[in-house]
Structure 1
Amino acid sequence: MSLTYFKPRDRFDFSKDTLDIGNPLQWDRSQFLKHLFKRVFAIPEDRVKEFYPRHLAYYLSHHPTGTEEIFFKYFWSLIERQLKVLLNKDVYDKNHLRNEREIARLQKFTELLISLDRWNFHKSNDAVIAQQDSEIYGLRQEIIQLKADLKKATALETEGYINIPDGYRNTVLNLHLQMQELKTPEGKELMFSQTQSVWTKMICKYFREGDKEINHETIRRYFPSDKREPGDKHADIPAKSKLFTINPSKKRS
């Protein structure tokens, strides 16, 4: 039946950008539907809008009693059915990437047809269900991607931490402050960060004092954002906690 709705490709038409259906040489007309979707998936995205009016014109020219409504409903039903088939395929299908591309193309056609639907056919129960299935599929794909991103982001996470003896937290803070002042032989900062919060968050995340968490708000006062004007809330490390000094090693010959 598709053969009467869509324009078949002319014999010996070898153009690469054709919108017509079929092969330039001999082909089985009983497989017309297969060739239809082969063309739907192959045409450039910027020519999708040309597909509908071209085949509508062909249909109307060959069916004096035909109407655009009849053509529209038939074309919509084909797109809707094929989209449902693809959406029901397992994400672990060996042709998953191809399925994804084809789903995206059919969704593009769906958007186009909805904009042309003067009969509100897309609001029928079947169409609404198909649209919901498409949205659910999209959400599932998003969940899969988010899980992959989360796995990648937490790959270096650890439940362990570096423990500091009770009363020596400030000693460790002082070492971190000293490390910020170290420079390479070329005069560049050995460790540079845009903000001091990087240091305080790192310490709170990976260090403990007496196996207890370190309060971020408590240690922030030792790491002013502007060392030249630290502000009233800034506090210096007590002298009694400055037990170690980091010095550059002697140059080796």
Structure 2
Amino acid sequence: MSVIYFKPHDRFDFANDTLDIGNPLQWDRSHFLKHFFKRVFAIREDQIDEFYQRHLAYYLSQHTDGTEEIFYKYFWSLIERQLKVLLGKDVYDQNHLRNEREILRLQKITAMLITHDRWNIHKSNDAVIAQQESEILALKQEVTKLKADLRKATAFKTEGYINIPEGYRNAVLHLHLQMQELKTPEGKELMFSQTQSVWMKMICKYFREGDKEINYETIRRYFPSDKRDPGDKHADIPAKSKLFTINPAKKRS
């Protein structure tokens, strides 16, 4: 029984941070494993090694013929078995979030136990399989998340584009540059972006000139990152391409 390996909770000890197993009052020792894992999932992460050392010391004090290897094997088997149970649960289980927290805790305990394993017990087939199953589960969850993110990212994806007649690309660029200067009646920028690359990417993605893609590097010179100091590589839209002017509408009475 587990009770011979782990220190039971002393009666009438009501300390909240105890590492011992069970309740401070009368409780059924046949349910020791349930109390064991309740304590395992309740202790702080920085108490994991202390938890192992406390119960190892208790076991050795109670069994003159006992060894750390015997205690370690039993401790490891409990953690390994419960980890396999949790990893086998469906991701749609109603207790999925709690299962995930408990899996993470058992994995941290497993990592701690490996540091104490002088007998290579953790390299048994079951342990390797449990670790692989844990990694596979994590990868599956990551794939599920990435698929969901991809669906969101492509929800508004379109194969179509806005076509500009050949030779009129700069006229459209001029319109976009003007739109950046528009202000609301309150004096706020009507359209604001942190960088000019947003405008250039939008144009290259959704516009074509004569059904041909617009080159990002080609239009970059018209969108300086710093309008106050555009630099030597900046170029103004040629006067012949400034075909349209955006002006505020007259206020209606």
Task: Give yes or no for TM over 0.5.
Answer: yes
Taking the aligned partners of 1:199 and 1:162, their CA distance within structure 2 comes to 15
Q: Which residue number in structure 2 is paired with residue 59 of structure 1? A: 59
SS in 2 for 1:9: coil
Q: Which residue number in structure 1 is paired with residue 27 of structure 2? A: 27
Q: Which amino acid aligns with 1:30?
A: S
SS in 2 for 1:94: coil
What's the CA shift for 1:233? Answer: 4.2
Q: Which moved more, 1:137-146 or 1:73-82?
A: 137-146
Q: Which residue number in structure 1 is paired with residue 224 of structure 2? A: 224
Q: Give the number of aligned pairs.
A: 253
Q: Which amino acid aligns with 2:130?
A: A
Pair 1:88 & 2:88 matched: yes
SS in 2 for 1:208: strand
Q: Which amino acid aligns with 2:51?
A: F
Cα gap change, 1:219 to 1:90, in 2 (>3 Å)? same
Q: Which moved more, 1:30-39 or 1:129-138?
A: 129-138
What's the CA shift for 1:176? Answer: 0.6
Q: Which runs of 5+ in 2 are unaligned?
A: none
Q: CA RMSD in A?
A: 2.2
What's the CA shift for 1:184? Answer: 4.0
Taking the aligned partners of 2:46 and 2:226, their CA distance within structure 1 comes to 53
Taking the aligned partners of 2:95 and 2:159, their CA distance within structure 1 comes to 39
Q: Which runs of 5+ in 1 are unaligned?
A: none
Write the mapping of 1:144-223 to structure 2, written as runs, cut at 5 A: 144-185=144-185, 187-223=187-223
What's the CA shift for 1:3? Answer: 1.2
Taking the aligned partners of 2:230 and 2:45, their CA distance within structure 1 comes to 58
Q: Which residue number in structure 2 is paired with residue 69 of structure 1? A: 69
SS in 1 for 2:224: coil
What's the CA shift for 1:228? Answer: 4.9
1:39-93 deviation line (CA, Å, top 9, x unaligned): 1111222322221111111111111100011101110111111111111211111
Taking the aligned partners of 2:24 and 2:152, their CA distance within structure 1 comes to 49
TM-score normalized by structure 1?
0.89
